[in-house]
């Protein structure tokens, strides 16, 4: 079944825009999963979701527009790209944002994600984010999971992901969790321990490995391992912009004391 | 030692300073953050592609400056031009009342952490 994106118009002043140049991917009738990534602590979501799109060779199928988001476009090798894009392969969808959200836009973005899920009969969502590590262990960053519905608890257990037990969540993660916990679409959030204020591709590798287990796919992490230092330099500006956006509206990054 | 012994107050957000690369001098501006704790300030610089031996840290009054040579040239394409960088360099203004002499630094996983103790000033008041 081809999904006709041109027929989709989201409420909340958000819509998905058809991409004319690309053939839309066929959707498997199996359970559809949506992955969501956006700039936050350590840019963990940005790195891990981008890597997955690249590694799985997912198809770009359209953009999500969020009203009040300042007009922004990116140009990559002559191609114009919107900041919030949708990718697909089989029953796996991805929404990735290249721009950080303040609290106001985070809520709008969360509603747009919800509208997308309803229209595409998405059965579950996985968010990837970073969590400030106060006392990071010697053996590297750990990852924790949080679920909105009991149905996803077994996924954490089966994949030996410890549960995020105590702490506070702010910003876009919190906005998405708040919207979806009232619906019948469950959300799993993976929080990788990271440096909150510097790009942290090393933490993203833990997130990618965990994501692969959850999705039951194989992902070779060699590419990202070889580029850790370069990625840190390349993403300095996005990290700085993310921190400024979060500070401006007095939202805070997740912080946990253990 | 239980977990609470490690508990320290920290600011939700650090002070961040803008990035200004110097294309002519081939200098990158590193990310940095300054966070306040009970008894000290923690200043961090993100210095990927750098070896510890190639980092210079200097204090001048309340300004701390770092310069670090990259292990290998880093290139970026900007508007069709390839721009090459060889160094990280940045200066940060520190808060007043710091103990420069007791400042320590460590470099781990490409991150330079400079711990700057606060100067204890003032006097105690007797409670009757």
Asked if B19 is an interface residue toward chain A (Cβ–Cβ < 8 A), one would say: yes
Query: Is the residue at A230 inside a domain?
Result: yes
Q: Which CATH architecture has domain B23-117?
A: Sandwich (2.60)
Per-domain residue ranges for chain B? Answer: 23-117
Instruction: Classify residue A69 as left (phi > 0), alpha (psi -120 to 50) or beta.
Output: beta
Does B106 contact chain A (CB < 8 Å)? no
Whether the CB-CB separation of A126 and A207 falls below 8 Å is answered with no
Q: Do B31 and A197 touch (CB under 8 A)?
A: yes
Query: Residue A107: which domain range?
Result: 5-248
pLDDT tens digits along A1-19: 333 333 333 333 445 554 4
What are the tens digits of pLDDT across the range A93-113? 999 999 999 999 999 999 999
The residue among A40, A75, A133, A198 with the most chain B CBs within 10 A of its CB, best to mutate, is A198
For residue A176, pLDDT over 90 is answered with yes
Assess whether pLDDT exceeds 90 at residue A82.
Answer: yes
Lowest-confidence range among A21-25, A197-201, A211-215, A246-250?
A21-25
Question: What is the number of domains present in chain A?
Answer: 1
Q: Which DSSP symbol is given to B100?
A: G
pLDDT of residue A140: 79
Question: Per residue in B16-31, pLDDT tens?
Answer: 556 677 777 788 999 9
**Cα B63 from Cα A35, distance rounded (Å):** 44
Give B67-116 pLDDT, tens digit per residue: 999 999 999 887 778 889 999 999 999 988 899 889 999 999 999 999 99
Residue A135: how many other CB atoms lie within 10 Å:
11
**Lowest-pLDDT choice from A70-79, A121-130, A161-170, B95-104:** A70-79
Q: ipTM value of the model?
A: 0.80
Contacts of B49 in chain A (CB under 8 A): 229-230, 233
Q: What percent of chain A has pLDDT over 90?
A: 69
Q: What is the CATH number of the domain that holds A242?
A: 3.40.50.10900
Q: In chain B, which residues have their Cβ closer than 8 Å to the Cβ of A198? A: 31, 33, 44, 46, 111
pLDDT of residue A72: 86
The residue among A232, A237, A254 with the most chain B CBs within 10 A of its CB, best to mutate, is A232
Cβ–Cβ under 8 Å, residues A92 and A121: no
- Encode pLDDT of B22-59 as tens digits: 777 788 999 999 999 989 999 999 999 999 999 999 99
Q: Which of A254, A130, A133, A114 is nearest to A187 (CA)?
A: A114
Confidence band of A146 (pLDDT split at 50, 70, 90) = very high
Question: Which of B26, B48, B75 to probe the A interface (max A CBs under 10 A)?
Answer: B48
Which residue is closest to A202 within chain B, CA to CA? B109
pLDDT tens figures, A189-236 = 999 999 989 999 999 999 999 999 999 999 999 999 999 999 999 999
Cβ-Cβ contacts under 8 Å between A and B: the total is 59
- Residue A197: partners with Cβ closer than 8 Å, 6 or more residues away: A239, A243, B14, B16, B31, B33, B44
Partners of B48 on chain A (C-beta within 8 Å) are: 228-230, 232-233
Q: Which residue of B has its CA nearest to A229?
A: B48
SS3 category, A110: helix
């Amino acid at each position: 079944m081809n999904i006709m994106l041109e027929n989709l118009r989201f409420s909340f002043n958000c819509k998905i825009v058809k991409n004319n140049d690309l053939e839309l991917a066929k959707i498997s009738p199996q359970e559809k999963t949506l992955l969501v990534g956006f700039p936050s602590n350590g840019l963990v979501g940005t790195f891990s979701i981008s890597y997955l799109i690249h590694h799985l060779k997912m198809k770009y199928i359209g953009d999500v527009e969020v009203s009040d988001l300042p007009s922004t476009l990116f140009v990559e090798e002559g191609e114009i790209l919107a900041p919030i894009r949708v990718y697909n392969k089989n029953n796996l969808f991805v929404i990735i944002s290249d721009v950080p959200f303040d609290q106001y836009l985070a809520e709008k973005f969360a509603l747009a994600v919800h509208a997308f899920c309803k229209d595409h009969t998405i059965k579950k969502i996985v968010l990837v984010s970073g969590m400030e590590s106060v006392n990071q262990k010697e053996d590297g960053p750990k990852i924790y999971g949080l679920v909105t519905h009991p149905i996803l608890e077994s996924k954490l257990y089966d994949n030996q992901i410890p549960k995020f037990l105590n702490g506070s969540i702010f910003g876009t993660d919190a906005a998405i969790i708040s919207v979806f916990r009232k619906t019948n679409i469950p959300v799993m959030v993976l929080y990788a321990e990271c440096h909150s204020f510097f790009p942290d591709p090393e933490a993203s590798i833990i997130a990618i490995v965990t994501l692969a287990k959850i999705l039951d796919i194989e992902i070779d992490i060699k590419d990202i391992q070889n580029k850790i230092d370069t990625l840190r330099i390349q993403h300095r500006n996005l990290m700085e912009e993310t921190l400024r956006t979060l500070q401006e509206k007095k939202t805070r990054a997740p912080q946990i004391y253990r | 030692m239980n977990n609470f012994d490690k508990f320290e107050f920290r600011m939700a957000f650090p002070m961040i300073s803008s990035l200004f690369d110097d294309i002519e001098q081939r200098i990158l501006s590193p990310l940095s953050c300054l966070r306040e704790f009970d008894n000290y300030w923690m200043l961090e610089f993100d210095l990927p592609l750098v070896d510890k031996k190639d980092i210079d840290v200097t204090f001048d009054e309340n300004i701390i400056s770092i310069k670090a040579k990259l292990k290998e040239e880093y290139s970026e394409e900007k508007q069709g031009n390839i721009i090459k960088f060889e160094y990280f360099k940045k200066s940060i203004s520190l808060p007043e009342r710091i103990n420069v002499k007791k400042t320590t630094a460590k470099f781990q996983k490409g991150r330079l952490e400079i711990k700057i103790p606060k100067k204890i000033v003032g006097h105690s008041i007797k409670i009757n």
